[in-house]
Amino acid sequence: MAEQGLGELFWAVARELRSRTRDALEPWAITPSQSRALSVLLGDEQHRLSDLAERLRIAPRSATEVVDHLERSGLVERRPDPADRRATLIVLTGRGRAAADDIRAARIIEADRFFGRLEPADRTELARILHLLQEGEQAANPG
């Protein structure tokens, strides 16, 4: 298979998975970027906006828009950073924690449905290959 063909095939599958993810997020009226922010906060409790932007690999301005929407939805709140009174921390609310848990479960179900078309051995092999690619990317771009 030609390299270009492999890349095109990969992106077609990624687009389908993104589309299914957007559909799975509809009940919460949030975007995949907002969902990722909730996931990061669920794992790490709180972040400064600049740190959250870095973790999400988006511009700080875009992170501000993500957090503004989540805050208007009552899923996160801004709190003063006790270590630096000029900074604020982004923290999940109780409602945000519950939504993040529910969204994680919905995404797992959708991914299982999507990848369930593969035989177990093929899923294992795909996971192995994707981990190799991810590790290579992380080694090439540490941080």
Quote the pLDDT of residue 2: 47
**Weakest mean pLDDT among 29-38, 115-124, 131-140:** 131-140
Give me the long-range contacts of 77-84 (CB less than 8 A, separation at least 24).
79/46, 81/48
Whether 6 contacts 35, CB under 8 Å = no
Axis crossing angle, helix 32-44 with helix 94-115, rounded to the nearest 10: 120
CA distance 87 to 123: 44
Q: What is the pLDDT of residues 62-87, one digit of tens each?
A: 999 999 999 999 999 999 999 888 88
Give me the chain's average pLDDT, please: 90
Q: What percent of the chain has pLDDT over 90?
A: 68
- pLDDT exceeds 70 at position 37: yes
Helix (H) or strand (E) holding 55: helix 49-56
